[in-house]
């Protein structure tokens, strides 16, 4: 009896959402940087251009990846940066890539994107830098 009421309540909520043209509150955020599979992606942050590139392509789960960040202009930034890898709306363990300055205005590090047991593929790479305002790139990882 209780299960029947819960199912009916869920159906009513979904029908209401469809009738009013709204999505349920649990809708997953959209990826804004899926071009990462074809080449680097660039964001403006604190008056600078921040570019993220991930190799090899396409970006896949459970493979060692090279993360490369270029910042123009790069004056005043630390020689080591952290790139935080997370899933929007889901608590995964801490997954950070330590990035070291390689040449000019480029930082590089190696890391891994784990496979989520839920099957979700949306990830966010956030460059942890107070000087840049922590710019983020969201993208879907391929299987």
**With b meaning 16 or more CB within 10 Å and e meaning fewer, what string describes 28-63?**
eeebebbebbeebbbbebeebebbbbbeeeebeeee
Say what the pTM is. Answer: 0.77
In a domain, 2, yes or no: no
User: How many alpha carbons fall within 13 Å on the CB side of residue 42?
Assistant: 7
Q: Cα 117 to chain center, whole Å?
A: 17
In a domain, 100, yes or no: yes
Q: In whole angstroms, what is the distance from residue 30 CA to residue 119 CA?
A: 16
In a domain, 11, yes or no: no
What DSSP character marks residue 56?
Answer: S
Q: For residue 99, give the H/E element and its range.
A: strand 96-103
Question: 61: domain range?
Answer: 28-140
Question: Using one digit for the tens of pLDDT, what is the confidence trace for 80-139?
Answer: 999 999 999 888 789 999 999 998 999 999 999 999 888 889 999 999 999 999 999 999
Kindly state the tokens that stand for 23: 């999505």
Domain count, the chain: 1
Question: Using one digit for the tens of pLDDT, what is the confidence trace for 55-87?
Answer: 999 999 999 999 999 999 999 999 999 999 999
In a domain, 127, yes or no: yes
């Amino acid at each position: 009896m209780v299960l029947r009421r819960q199912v009916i309540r869920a159906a009513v909520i979904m029908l209401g959402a469809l009738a009013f043209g709204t999505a349920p509150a649990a809708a997953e955020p959209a990826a804004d940087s899926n071009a990462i599979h074809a080449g680097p992606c660039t964001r403006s942050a604190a008056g600078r251009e921040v570019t993220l590139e991930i190799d090899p392509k396409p970006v896949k789960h459970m493979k060692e990846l090279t993360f490369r960040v270029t910042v123009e202009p790069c004056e005043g930034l630390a020689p080591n940066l952290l790139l935080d890898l997370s899933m929007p709306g889901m608590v995964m363990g801490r997954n950070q890539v330590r990035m070291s300055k390689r040449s000019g205005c480029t930082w590089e590090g190696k890391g891994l994107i784990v496979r989520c047991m839920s099957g979700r593929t949306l990830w966010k790479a956030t460059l942890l830098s107070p000087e840049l305002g922590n710019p983020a790139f969201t993208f879907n990882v391929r299987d």
